[in-house]
Amino acid sequence: MRIVVHIMLLLLSVPLWAQNGKPVYTRQVYFEFGKYDLRPDDNKTFTAFLRAVKAQGEGYSITLIGHTDLIDNDNFNSKLGFNRAKAVKEFLITKGVPATTIKIESKGEKLAQQTKVTDSIRALNRKVEMALYAGKGVTSTTNGQTAEIKLGGHIYDAETKKLIKATISVTIKNPREVDRDKIKTYKQADEYEQVAIAERTYSVYVTADGYRAENYFVTIPSNQKSGTIIQDAYLKKLTIKRRLSYEKIYFVPNKDEFLPTAADELEKLLKFMQHDSTINIEIRGHINYPKNRTPMTPLDEFLFYDLSLRRAIAVYNHLTTNGIKAERMSYRGMSNSEMVMPYARTLEESMRNMRVEVLVLN
């Protein structure tokens, strides 16, 4: 009886593959004779498979089975089938699929068609079958629950250390194709928590009325398997000494790319920052969406806020690239909340709303 207990504990402590039932999605990719290099012709197949993986969220497992034709001996073909499956696995990993969710095996020539074999049939035998299963593929704890990494924290007033309500945007920097929650926003919240992914860097951007915006960067270690990583935010009260409006920092419509005509205004801002190294600023991006237009949908609200934020970041990046220290600056997207011309009707009035504003904080 003791031996049975020990065996059961051992089984519960190692990764287990939960692939009950049929796969929810399957695809095949093909290979040249005797090779295991991926073909550009299969890019669309991989894209479709990765979309299916992403749709499964955090709960899925993948099986990759390598196959060959009947040419050469069984031992060679068994290794070739394995190398083909391994090549697909390595590719999926580069796209953000966790290695722990992928199982590979080789059938070699075992399932190759053996009658009426033509060159076309041989080509169809040289493949890797990709099968996606719903549900957790690997469990790593003794109670059968899959371990998760979480990123979270609270938002405080830097002086009083009391909790305050804020807007929190958590963004994956350089996300991979299958990553979920590339950006997640919490509105009027004093805390946040979400599932995080190893080997990713997250930006935690926090804004609150009357406070200076703060941005934190958190990198999840590659060896992190579970647990919660805490990144609290401490916001300082915003004391505005002066407002400087740079209405001539023009952008390509609906983008965060500067137009060539913005060069003079950007140079003016750069010289202002270079002139006094003690000045700290907050850069605010604004967009044009007059009140006489159809009210924004929730999607519009997100897109226009994101555009105003990205434009502020573009100015911030321009200044840091030209030697201005990052700690002297913060940035914020304002969407259309502070339009100079709330009922803009002409192009000139609209351009005044699409401005960059700089708040001098000291």
The two three-digit tokens of residue 147, written as one number: 């371990």
Where do we find the tokens 């992190």? 224
The edge-to-edge listing of strands for the beta sheet with 102-108 is 25-30, 127-134, 60-67, 102-108
User: What's the fold here for domain 2-134?
Assistant: 60s Ribosomal Protein L30; Chain: A; (3.30.1330)
Classify residue 170 as left (phi > 0), alpha (psi -120 to 50) or beta.
beta
Q: Is residue 45 within 8 Å of 31, Cβ to Cβ?
A: no
Task: Name the pTM for this structure.
Answer: 0.56
Classify residue 51 as left (phi > 0), alpha (psi -120 to 50) or beta.
alpha
Please state the domain extents for the chain.
Answer: 2-134, 149-235, 242-360
CA atoms within 13 A of residue 163's CA, in its CB half-sphere: 8
Domain 149-235 class, CATH top level: mainly beta
Cβ atoms within 10 A of the Cβ of 174, count? Answer: 7
**What is the structure's pLDDT at 21?**
64
Q: Is residue 128 within 8 Å of 37, Cβ to Cβ?
A: no
Q: Is residue 231 within 8 Å of 187, Cβ to Cβ?
A: no
Q: What is the CATH number of domain 242-360?
A: 3.30.1330.60
Relative to beta strand 281-285, strand 214-219 is unpaired
Nearest-Å Rg of the Cα atoms of the chain is: 27
Q: Is residue 329 within 8 Å of 215, Cβ to Cβ?
A: no
**What is the structure's pLDDT at 179?**
81
**What is the structure's pLDDT at 113?**
77
**What is the structure's pLDDT at 9?**
37
Task: Give, for all 362 residues of the chain, the pLDDT tens digit.
Answer: 333 333 333 333 333 344 546 888 899 999 999 999 999 999 999 988 998 888 777 678 899 999 999 888 888 999 999 999 999 999 999 988 888 889 999 999 888 877 767 888 888 889 999 999 886 544 333 344 445 788 999 999 999 999 999 999 999 988 887 787 788 889 899 999 998 888 899 999 999 988 988 889 999 998 888 888 999 999 989 888 888 888 788 888 888 999 898 999 999 999 999 998 999 999 999 998 988 888 888 888 888 988 999 999 999 999 999 999 998 999 999 999 989 899 998 888 888 888 888 999 87
* H or E segment to which residue 110 belongs: none
The two three-digit tokens of residue 115, written as one number: 């009658």
**What is the structure's pLDDT at 147?**
58
Same fold? 2-134, 149-235: no
DSSP string for residues in 247-300:
TT--B-TTSSPBPGGGHHHHHHHHHHHHH-TT--EEEEE-----TTSPPPPHHH
**What is the structure's pLDDT at 165?**
95
Q: Where are the alpha helices (DSSP H) in the chain?
A: 2-13, 43-55, 74-94, 119-125, 263-275, 298-321, 347-353
Distance CA 69, CA 253 (A): 54
